[in-house]
Structure 1
Amino acid sequence: MQNRLLRRLGMCLLAAVAVLLTVVGAAVLAGQAAVVSTDGVSMNPFYYDGDLVVIVRAPSYSVGQIAAYRLPGSNEVVLHRIIGGDQDSFVLKGDNSQSIDTVMPSAKDLIGRERLHIPQGGVWLDRLTSPLTLSLMTFTLLVSGGGAITRRRRRRRQNRQRRAEMSRHTVTRTGFSAALGALSPMLRVGTALTLVLTVIASTLVVLAWTGPLNQAASAESVSGARMEFSYTAEVGDSPAYDGTVAESPDPVFRSLADTIEVHFAYQGAQGSITVSAELSTPGGWRTTVPLSPSTSFTGNQYQGTVELDLATFEEKARAASAVTGLPESPIGITLTPRVQTATGPDFEPALTLELAPLQLSVPGAADALTVTTDASVGQTIPVPRTVGPENWNLTAANARIMSAGLLLLAFLAATTLVLLARRNTPVDEGAAIRRRYAALLVRVHPMPAPQGRPVIDVTTFATLAKLAERYGLLVLHWDRSDVETFVVQDENTTYRYRTNPETSSTDALAVATENDTRINI
């Protein structure tokens, strides 16, 4: 009783897991969910490397939730916590990370939020969906499911054929096709569907595991990046200028201004931007001065301003000249806003200025204030490998998960068929004896008792089985008029057991001679 309860609990657990896998698989195919196996330590101690997280798309998101987004131009998924922003631009950060994410996705860019977390589930999923495990599951399903149904239906097939037998030879065992034909219409349909499900799952196993998860693909990305520079300087009321502000591309006279503000306007892919200036002199001296830290931005436009302290630059060049003996003037200033994006190479436009003792000027005038790049950049990027027809868009990663779920469903279906087949088999004493002692039984036609041989009726079939094993004999078996008779014949005695002794008057052995001796043991 306890074993039966444990089996039922196990079946319920497997059914729940199968339903869960089916729901998750359908949501993944519909684009409403994703399954993520965590990698890294950015979300410790909430997540650890190898955890499994199910991400489900939500209508809205709020601060404090854990959400996932895909890095632009790649298949990498980032799973971090929302710490700020709104539906148009969220700020995310890992719990164990010191810096915020450079990408600020909107609500429509998010894959979804965390709904189910299984510690180390990713590790076990990789093990369960390995080629060896899936192959063993498929083999076990086909062998155990088909074999069990064959064994249980074979006996019913034999019972229907017993009256047509014309000799005392043992009944020939039927194969799987005969057993399948003996199934009820419902069980035949269930068996066919289970086999189809197994074939589909096995095909997915082959397609998903015969190649990598990702494959290299050539892509041309047109950056189309553009940077426009300009500068201004407060020069006061002076006859050198028409107003109080000097603007690019006019020179800035040193006697009127010590600082200038350089403005830059960027158009292109979103990312982060860092600004620095390189100082150089004709003698070969160079140094780099950082002007602004890395700043993330979203959208395809960004505008910024940095301040150049000309007096400080001159002081640096003068100090270097005093040590090296090289000329300190003119000073070359190369201002570079470096833009880093996830979709292509870095964009590093440069504004070149020349600082002399009397003025700051722009070599090349207005043409140097705009930098663009429209060249196509060829690159090889990893993309998810898809399996099946092109319109499926089923990735190898999702195919592995689906194949595991389908194999589990097929296994449950086969188990259900076996249970149904067992329920349809007779549950009387004769059927129980035939199931348990099948190796000892030989079916024959009803036969009369031999003349002069005593017939001994035993009270249990177990006793008859022990006698057969002791003498190394088989148990002859037949049924007639709802009475099943089992006999063991040694050289001098016939041992007999009948399932319905009260109706034994119709049994063939009841036609006994006066020499018969019946002894109950």
Structure 2
Amino acid sequence: MAAILGMAAIGAWAIMTERVGYVVTHGTSMNPVYYQDDLVFVMKADSYHVGQIAAYHGESPGQRVLHRIIGGDGSAGFVIKGDNNESVDPLTPTTEDMIGRAVLHIPHGGIWLKPLLGPSGLGMLSFLVIGGRAATARTRREIPRGRRKKKVKAMSTRQGGSWATVVTAVTAVRRLSLMLRAAAVVAAILTLCALTLGVLGWMKPLVETRPAAAPAPSRSITYSYSAKVPKSAAYDNTTVNSPDPVFRKLADRANLNARYEGPAGRFKLGATLTNGTGWHTTMTLVSETSFTSTTFDATVPLDFSALVDRADNASRAIGASPTGAVTIALTAQVSSPGLATLAAPLQIGINRFAMTLSEGKFKTEAVAAVAPDTVVPREISILGHSFMTASVARSRAILLLIAAAAVAAAVALAALRRLPVRTRAEIERRYPNLLVQVEPMASPPGKPVVNVDNFPALVRLSEKYGQMILTWRRPDADDFVVRDEGITYRYRVPLDDEPTLQNVDFINRTTSGTHRHKAPTQAS
């Protein structure tokens, strides 16, 4: 039993650390090594080499691919190909991506494994594991008609329904040895874990559609300018608006406006002046300003003559001829919490005749694209913490159930060996080396006879005193006795009924009669 518990602990460790897994084959890519619905167990390895058959995670969530390694290495990625495929696999998994190498092949094992892939299958198996001991059928001999009335009361107590079945199962477990009870507890825990993981793994599909995150709010910066002009043939009215050029002969000033729409944040507007000579300078038109509304307007005046004079003076300072022109590169920036900085560039030019748009666009927008929904492996969470995917939960449920069944089978086999024998055939089959067939003999006069209530107790007495068990047949029963120091220990199997539990009686046989005295049930 220590070995069984040790193997169960090792199996639980291997399952929980993903050192052991399984693959149910599908398709013909590995013919003739594997065929459809074969069951292959794989074991995690520290390294893999060319020629091994190994499993790795495929492109689809929950998919496992079992093919042969034909090239590559563990760090850069293995080249993998199915034996029956003409092309190599598109993925090149590394050592960390591998599930494990094939260690055990069960032909068509996946066929009987499929019924277990549902909560009903798991529940049925757990019921068989836990309740099988209590539901074991007993072979009984037919009761003679004349004795049936005497058995009515005893039989009615055996038909107490579900509660009686539970009591019987609990009693059977309590009669086991400490090691067997510990193994039964291990089997029950493994079964409970398997059922829990099975329900969590199969209650929903392997994958789930995860909606995309809400897109960021739209933001925009729009430039515009306007200037007052006298009535003339150049314009239809007395106001010039963007994007029309502003002729300097009619207006040497304009108002530049930058309008922002979007979440609140901080706004600033700067400009860079150049004149084609390599000279440049920066200017702050609007210093960084916080705002709380969803719109913000900044208006600054542009003095064309002052800007051109600034560029011409720089040309003279560096020995270049004044051009009477300047280029202004505007940059408005808005930074909002949790969002990327929005920058809007615009370039305008001023020459001797007019101010015009040189490069860029008046409106800059930041519209977040709506991401599509994504399909991801379903995560199993407890109290908001994810600890494994549904695919892993299903695999571990199957492996834990197999481990529980193995431990339960070992407990059942050990318990069967401890069941009391009920017929002469069972006794002769189990203890042939202790039995000696003799002719019926009477007990010595005046010597006590101790009736024991089970045959294993008689076996222990035989081993204690170093005596063989004498047995003979009587018309109504089979007797088995051990004699030592003048005391006869007897176990009797009635031929017309099952053996009934009896108190151990000391029987003093004398020539005038038999006297019975109560004694403890078990002789030591």
TM-score range, shorter chain: 0.3 to 0.5
TM-score for the superposition, normalised by structure 2: 0.41
TM-score for the superposition, normalised by structure 1: 0.42
User: Whose radius of gyration is greater, 1 or 2?
Assistant: 2
More helix by share: 1
